[in-house]
Amino acid sequence: MSTDPETTKHDAITDSTSPSEANESLELKKKSTPTARVLLPTAPVDVDTDEEAAEDGVEEETDDGDFLSEFPDETEDLELVHSKIGSLDGLRLARFAEYLKRLCLRQNFISILDPETFHQLTKLEELDLYDNKLKSVGDSLDKLSHLSTLDLSFNLLRSVPDRLEFLHSLETIYFVQNKITNISGFSSCTKLRSLELGGNKIRLCGITDGVVQRIENLENLVNLEELWLGKNKIAKLQVNYYESRLISTLSINASYQGLETLKKLKILSLQSNRITKLEGLEELTELNQLYLSHNGIERLEGLKNNLQLTTLDIGNNFIPAIENISHLKNLEELWMNGNKIPDLSALEPELKSISSLETLYLEANPCQKNDMTGYRRKIQLALPQLKQIDAT
């Protein structure tokens, strides 16, 4: 069975993997700065943030004592992972305010962030609240002007926090596996380089039940290099002529913006959505990796200007032919497994001239199923530059 190229290249959780299966025991990196780490081993518990029961289920047993009483005020790095923390009051975090740069509170039961405490942690650069019970952060982060990395994955957020404009230094955001339905609130995040919104309920572009679905406030993210939107409900990347006319007719007081302003984008992940047409990527000339597996794409097209692509994953779609990619001279990995390609006749005209191509996945296509004995040999003869064919 093939391995998804995105999950092998990317460390963050952008699929439905439960938090208990993802790095429950983090390896402590050696640091020259004062560091405190608390980890209470417990039996793993699967968390399903997609069910209402996860919000109102049985109250978890918490331990809200001061785990940090023996650590000096000068500590710069605090990790309290899987420590059954429900309230932060007993930790007296404010006493670390002058020195604390990194705070990791992964896999606890935190539901409220006290503004009085967090407004004092003005030196924070990294805040990790992965896998907690947060429905909102309110104004608790308003004073964290030095914060560059924020992880609120696997919580209960229904929307992007609406006060990100106070976080002027943000470069990396993880909002994976929440209940977010719209992309909004990022207009002030001009330094942002990586945005992760996988595993939410986002719908982009077009009109659904009379409601305009559009991308909001991405146009200012001029330094964005990575955009991860896998496992949402995205059907289209841009509105068509008739939809744009209807939007105008409805006098919607908002302008449509797509991906065209993200000139520095290098990685775009849209796997496991509802996309049927490959379009809207013309302006992304720096794009290096494109992940579109598990959609409903019916033709390989729309990549005329994406000459820097090294990885193209369009596996598990409905594509009937290898076409329109012979110009991608930097391509190293091509994933087209699980489509409807009937034979290998297009290999030489489309791929033989791409000397950089090392990996090709075509398994689970008719061209393999109908010729199990000669399939691999034919690929090797047509494309001698390959180092890997399928998973073996």
The pLDDT tens digits for 235-260 are 876 644 444 444 344 333 333 346 88
**pLDDT beyond 50 at 276:** yes
User: Is 129 in the same domain as 221?
Assistant: no
The model's pLDDT over 172-208, given as tens digits with 9 standing for 90+, comes to 999 999 999 888 888 889 999 999 999 999 886 544 4
User: Is 161 in the same domain as 269?
Assistant: yes
Cβ atoms of residues 81 and 104 within 8 Å:
yes
**pLDDT beyond 50 at 9:** no
- The verdict on residue 356 lying in a domain is yes
Tell which of 99, 127, 156 closes a domain. 156
The model's pLDDT over 114-124, given as tens digits with 9 standing for 90+, comes to 999 999 999 99
Tell which of 156, 185, 201 closes a domain. 156
- The verdict on residue 61 lying in a domain is no
User: Which CATH number goes with the domain that contains 306?
Assistant: 3.80.10.10
The per-residue pLDDT for 111 is 97
Domains identified in the chain, total number:
3
The per-residue pLDDT for 80 is 95
Alpha-carbon span 59 to 62, nearest angstrom: 9
- Predicted confidence band of residue 261 (pLDDT cuts 50, 70, 90): confident
- The verdict on residue 379 lying in a domain is yes
- The verdict on residue 58 lying in a domain is no
- The verdict on residue 50 lying in a domain is no
User: Is 161 in the same domain as 83?
Assistant: no
The model's pLDDT over 45-83, given as tens digits with 9 standing for 90+, comes to 444 444 444 455 556 677 677 789 899 999 999 999 999
User: Is 344 in the same domain as 367?
Assistant: yes
User: Is 267 in the same domain as 282?
Assistant: no
Of 90 and 251, the one with more pLDDT: 90
What are the contacts of 378-384 at 24+ separation with CB within 8 A? Answer: 378/344, 378/347, 379/344, 379/347, 382/344, 382/347, 382/348, 382/351, 382/352, 383/347, 383/348, 383/351, 383/352, 383/357
Side-chain-side CA neighbours of 342 within 13 Å: the count stands at: 1
User: Is 298 in the same domain as 203?
Assistant: no
The first and second tokens of residue 197, run together, are 């919104």
- The verdict on residue 38 lying in a domain is no
What range defines the domain where residue 352 resides? 275-391
- Amino acid, res. 150: L
The per-residue pLDDT for 5 is 56
Average pLDDT over residues 316-339: 98
Of 314 and 220, the one with more pLDDT: 314
Tell which of 104, 135, 156 closes a domain. 156
User: Is 108 in the same domain as 194?
Assistant: no
User: Is 299 in the same domain as 311?
Assistant: yes
Classify 125 as helix, strand or coil.
coil
User: Is 281 in the same domain as 386?
Assistant: yes
Global pTM exceeds 0.85: no
User: Is 366 in the same domain as 285?
Assistant: yes
User: Is 126 in the same domain as 175?
Assistant: no
User: Is 195 in the same domain as 279?
Assistant: no
φ and ψ of 9, to 5 deg: -100, -10
- The verdict on residue 169 lying in a domain is yes
